[in-house]
Amino acid sequence: MLASFILVMNATIVSNAQDPVKVERSNNKVVIEGTVYYVHVVKPGHTLYSIAKAYNVSEKEIVIENPGVTADLRIAQVLKIPANSASAFSVNTVDPEDEKNRHVVQSGETLYSISKLYECSVDMIIQLNPGLDIEDIPIGKVLAIPLVKDDKNDLSFNEEGFIFHKVKRRETLFSISRYYDVRVSEIKAVNAEIGWGGPRAGQVIMIPKPNTTIDVFFRHDTIISDTVDLVFLDSLGIEEYNYDEIKDRYYSGQEVFNIAYLIPFNFSEQEPLDSLLKDVKFPIRRERIIEQYESEEETPQAIQFLEFFEGSLLAIDTLTDAGLELNVHFFDTRKSMFHTRELLALDEMAEMDLIIGPFYTYNLELVSEFCKENRIPVVTPFHADDSLTLINPYLFQTTPSYKTEYRNNAKYLSRSYADNLIFVHNGDSSQIERIEYYKKVLFNELQNYSALESVLFKEVIIRDGNMRDLIHALKSDVRNTVISPATDEAFASQLASTLFYKLDNFDIQLFGSPYWVGFDDIEISYIHKLQLTISHTHKYDFEDQNYLHLLKRFRENYFKEPSFNTRKGINFGMLGYDMSLYFLSALQQFGPGFILQLNDFYPAGMLSDYSFERLSPASGYENCYLKYYHFNQDMSVNEVLLPEMPSMHNYLQPAEEEEPLFKWLFDNKSDTIEINDL
């Protein structure tokens, strides 16, 4: 019997006693090509007529917007229903003194198109422009335009904490943010489609409710040095943090601890796929979105997170049986910033001794700020960016950042300095910063063992799926180490297949990323023949008695085995168990001061180890634990230690030369191969 705990679940209960044919208007809205739609899920008894009546539209409009829809609707069928014109808030945020109520006619514009642009009628424009020849409006003609008056008291935010705003001509993010009293960064955070040029006229964007997000000090595109020293911190106004308030706190060993889990249990329908693909031009990214969409359709994340919850309960049960007294609260964050802020406002939240979660970045920003102010340790299960960890001394990041991963990989790969090193990726623009960082730390390690001018290194960029230049980069007289940080399965599969069929002519070994563990469609024989090596935080060994015992407990309590994995192949149930066991055991042994005692803490029963390191004297802690696994040609997998360090040589350049040591690579164009889209 699982240990008792306080379960706080904010879930919506739908009564079966309601009229089965009554249609309730959905609260979920999406924006597709600038038009706002309701997302309606057909339920038993719904008809085309009843749905049209509920949304105050005609049946014809529904059919037009949903090709293939007939009067015979299917249960669970998803329809997009055009929202009325009031769905997107109609307001011009441009200062009238700046706008001067004027519009210069451009080629191809008509009075009708101009009226639509400014959300006014054609008659209103004609009235303000006496003598206007509506049949012949010359290009360059300056028209007076009526500004639409508004009332900010009419703002109506949905339950997720958003309102839709239709962008007017000459509006900017600054003018919009000033009107709604939110930051520009907050608007951009919830509208990924807004590019460097700002919003487009006619575009509908989401505006978060004021005070539902926070302004993160470090932006994700801020370059942070690997070693953050006190001088750097002082320049940013960040002081060293020593945990003085917990150093002297007495722990009797008999305290009852309050624990909160913030998990997005609430299931909701996905946005239509065409909305998600809007303005996505890169084929690789479109494939990734489609893949994630289909995966979510097959297995909603809410179900995967439930397995994390189940694993956590088993750890809680283990520790309460051992005498640990807990009040455990499970809160449903509903994937909503607005609802997460409401949860943080509860009186009991400030009394927590530990918070685990939430799972989404935009909610973690809120919770991290709350925990920093209230000095509550908070653990993030999936977040792998160190920007929040750098500024919150109470944040524990259990997933190593890409910087930690790449620095460790560079130490491993630099031992292969005599190989033909081929660094291959797909040129994804969103990954450029990571790619450059990977190369930088690799060159820094290579210089310890060889003059960089003598290292064989080639960068191959494959954007169109053509592997021809990768093959040309292989050498027959030396071992070829192919380094691929790929996180995309389609690209990785193509790469592995190409290299496999070249093994007869070349000595090839492959070094991948942790994501390769989660790839299901790559032939396992390819992986072993190519002797894939990866770094990873987890390995599930069927010879490990702790693992077998936990599998048995899952079967006994839930009548199933944990079956859902992250994209890196980490099992949700096992992760929930390990994370809960580690931090709750730390509380049991050290009390609230456990933060200062984790260097030599290895609780029994863990499936994986943690090694937390503080990023700076003012930061929180990041798990830097990584092991390396090698896929052998005999189909076995074994853990490998970091190869012995060769004799180091002093290949440093003269001190007065300030150019980077790896500058030669960028000057030597023949060593960098790029496959163009043409």
CB 202 within 8 A of CB 166: yes
Q: How far is CA 223 from its chain centroid?
A: 19
- Does residue 189 carry a pLDDT above 70? yes
Angle between helices 545-558 and 301-321 (to 10 degrees): 110
The fraction of the chain above a pLDDT of 70, given in percent, is: 73
Q: CA nearest 262: which of 363, 377, 389, 160? A: 363
Structure tokens at 197: 């040029």
- Convert the pLDDT of each residue in 44-77 to its tens digit: 888 887 888 788 777 767 877 777 676 677 777 7
pLDDT band at 668 (very low <50, low <70, confident <90, very high): very low
Q: What is the bridge-based pairing of β-strands 420-425 and 395-397?
A: unpaired
Interatomic CA distance for residues 483 and 468, integer angstroms: 17
- Convert the pLDDT of each residue in 193-246 to its tens digit: 676 567 777 777 888 877 654 333 233 333 333 333 443 344 444 567 888 777
Helix%, strand%, coil% for the chain, nearest 5: 35, 15, 50
Most confident range (mean pLDDT) of 292-301, 414-423, 535-544 is: 414-423
Other CB atoms closer than 10 Å to residue 240's CB: what's the count? 11
Kindly give, in sequence order, each residue whose CB lies less than 8 Å from that of residue 537, ignoring residues fewer than 6 positions away.
399, 400, 514, 570, 608, 623, 625, 626, 627
pLDDT the model gives residue 270:
58
What mean pLDDT comes out for the span 82-105? 60
For the purposes of burial, counting CB atoms within 10 Å of the CB of 585, is it exposed (0-12), middle (13-18) or buried (19 or more)?
buried
CB 495 within 8 A of CB 424: yes
For 2-11, 344-353, 407-416, 543-552, which range has the lowest pLDDT when averaged over its residues? 2-11
Q: What is the DSSP string of 422-470?
A: EEEE---GGGHHHHHHHHHHHHHHHTTTS-GGGSEEEEEEESSS--HHH
- Convert the pLDDT of each residue in 572-583 to its tens digit: 999 999 999 999
Other CB atoms closer than 10 Å to residue 424's CB: what's the count? 24
Residue of 71 and 587 predicted with greater confidence: 587
Q: Omega of the bond prior to 358 within 30 degrees of 0, cis?
A: yes
pLDDT the model gives residue 155:
61
**Residue 573 parent element (H or E):** helix 572-590
End-to-end C-alpha distance for the chain, whole angstroms: 63
Residue identified by tokens 């609802």 is 339
What mean pLDDT comes out for the span 293-305? 72
Q: Which amino acid is at 380?
A: T
Q: What is the DSSP string of 276-311?
A: HTTT---HHHHHHHHHHHHHHHHS-HHHHHHHHHHH
Structure tokens at 245: 């308030």
pLDDT the model gives residue 98:
44
- Does residue 388 carry a pLDDT above 80? yes
pLDDT the model gives residue 26:
78
Q: How many residues does the chain have?
A: 678
CB 212 within 8 A of CB 341: yes
- Does residue 667 carry a pLDDT above 70? no
- Convert the pLDDT of each residue in 443-501 to its tens digit: 888 887 777 777 888 888 887 778 888 888 899 999 999 999 888 888 888 899 999 99
List phi, psi (to 5°) of 235: -65, -20
Residue of 407 and 93 predicted with greater confidence: 407
Interatomic CA distance for residues 187 and 219, integer angstroms: 14
pLDDT the model gives residue 284:
67
pLDDT the model gives residue 12:
30
- Cα-based distances in Å from 7 to 156, 261, 322, 452, 557: 32, 10, 21, 59, 18
- Cα-based distances in Å from 160 to 25, 79, 208, 666: 16, 20, 9, 48
pLDDT the model gives residue 113:
76
Residue of 321 and 15 predicted with greater confidence: 321
Q: What is the DSSP string of 372-414?
A: HHHT--EEESS---STTGGG-TTEEE-SPPHHHHHHHHHHHHG
Going across the sheet that includes 78-82, the strands are 29-32, 35-41, 78-82
Interatomic CA distance for residues 648 and 450, integer angstroms: 8
CB 547 within 8 A of CB 540: yes
Runs of H (alpha helix) within 299-358: 301-321, 337-344
Q: What is the DSSP string of 82-103?
A: EPPTTSEE----S-HHHHTTEE
- Does residue 593 carry a pLDDT above 70? yes
The fraction of the chain above a pLDDT of 90, given in percent, is: 17
Please state, rounded to an integer, the average pLDDT across all residues of the chain. 76
Structure tokens at 146: 């009526």
CB 164 within 8 A of CB 88: yes
List phi, psi (to 5°) of 74: -100, 140
Interatomic CA distance for residues 364 and 337, integer angstroms: 9
SS3 511: strand
